[in-house]
Amino acid sequence: MPVEPARTTDVAALALDYGDRLIVGTVRDMHHIVSKRVFRATRVVGGRLPESLHDAVVTSVYGAVSGVLRLSSGSVRVLASRGVGKPIEDTHRGRLVVAAVNGLIGDELRMLDDPQAITMAVRVDGADIPANSWPLAQAFRDGTSHPVIFLHGLCENDESWANSAKVHGTTYAERLVAETDGTPVMVRYNTGLHISENGKHLDALLQQVVASWPVPVTRITLVGHSMGGLVARAATNHATASGQTWQQLVRDVVCLGTPHAGANLEKVAHLGSRMLRFWPDSSPFSTILENRSAGIVDLRHGYISQDEWEGQDLTGQWGLDRIAAAPLPNAEYHFVAATLGASQRHPLSAVLGDLLVHFSSATGVGRAGPIVDGASFEYLPSAHHFALLNHPRVGDWLVEWINVRTRNPRALPAAPRQA
């Protein structure tokens, strides 16, 4: 039975649900805190009667607002179930909205079996392609023996790799087709799930892709932006542990702005949430920050395996006790780091890195040393995190790495350079 597509009415219902849970709930809790403080001074004169009357009215008002939102949400969901509303993924903007929502609450969407929950899949022209022989053969008629797998980052999707394409006049995928023997393969996934879970899904997907690819696969390249680099490492780690073979074909793992040692922005959000909860007057606002997906929380730690988070209180840890994951013996690892400033020592670079990920984390250096032994890195100054999705210099490196290994499979990685 075909799966019903997510519709604009599903998005509206979700917005109403979260408006009730987060906005109305936060305002109600703040009102309660402030009113308690105000009425503390009036009890001496008027007793508790004014406070009781106020609480009764306020409870009634907030209850009515919440009830209206819940009723509206239910009514809109009924409309969605009856096919009312345009499929949200029919437009580029709609697909961006779905990707962002999945990044924020994708684990909850999956748990609720919401039609907006993304299922990992190969993508072509904004649509899922089943990883079976016939669909892959039709979608990749000119497919070579070297699929290059592209994995986007948090709240992004397969179309994010076309970032600034009008400015640069090309994309990584277009350059690979024109200048290498690689065939770009875009993958979309639910970035709100645990990174380790997405690693398992990618392991299963690539098993299917290799088995059903139009021609025998002789080589694989993995390219990940931000979270996508962690998902790539999680997939190869899981494949090795479960005795799979596709990962033995991987010759290059390219990570662009990947928080191997954790993302500072998520650490700030975590710290801000705990600080807001420390003061009673601001504690309601902590609920908004705490309502983050498992995928976002994983970014704080840089975890790639289930053993690192299962049974652990991730809100109380900072991710310094990672389980070592051995790199693939036949693959070269290329880590690309960017900074907002023109040098690593620039104040903006030192504080913000590329805006979301610090330089040391992107180059795979943790407190205990390199997270992936033998990885090489490249540095892109005066660039932000999302510029790494499509940057001419990064495109040059990507083409070079692929072609060097094509000409000489035993070639060693190049020494670190600065753009």
Give the CA distances from residue 171 to residues 184, 236, 391, in Å, rounded to whole numbers and listed in that order. 11, 26, 8
pLDDT recorded at residue 305: 80
What one-letter code names the amino acid at 374? Answer: G
When the candidates are 3.30.1300.10, 3.10.180.10, 3.40.50.1820, 3.40.605.10, the CATH number that belongs to 121-263+319-418 is 3.40.50.1820
Say what the pLDDT of residue 14 is. 80
DSSP H stretches of helix in 112-146:
133-139
Successive 10-residue mean pLDDT values, the chain, 419 residues: 76 76 62 62 61 68 73 81 88 93 90 92 97 97 97 96 95 98 98 96 98 97 97 95 95 96 63 45 46 81 72 54 71 96 92 90 84 92 96 98 76 44
Please name every residue paired with 127 in a beta bridge, in sequence order, or none if there are none. Answer: 124
For tokens 């003061």, the residue is: 279
* CA angle, residues 231, 262, 104, in degrees to nearest 5: 65
pTM: 0.84
- Structure letter (DSSP) for residue 317: -
DSSP-based three-state secondary structure for 273 = helix
Domain boundaries, the chain: 8-86, 121-263+319-418
Both tokens assigned to 396: 């040059």
Q: Residue for token digits 């039609």?
A: 115
Alpha helices for 249-344 (secondary structure H): 264-278, 283-290, 294-301
Q: Strand 365-366 vs strand 417-418: parallel, antiparallel, or unpaired?
A: unpaired
Map tokens 């994951």 to a residue: 325
Pairs from 181-184 (Cβ < 8 Å, separation ≥ 24): 181/144, 181/145, 181/146, 181/402, 181/406, 182/144, 182/146, 182/147, 182/148, 182/221, 182/402, 183/140, 183/142, 183/143, 183/144, 183/146, 183/147, 183/148, 184/148, 184/150
Q: Are 348 and 339 in contact (CB under 8 A)?
A: yes
Report the C-alpha gap between 152 and 186 in whole angstroms: 8
Q: At 94, which amino acid appears?
A: G
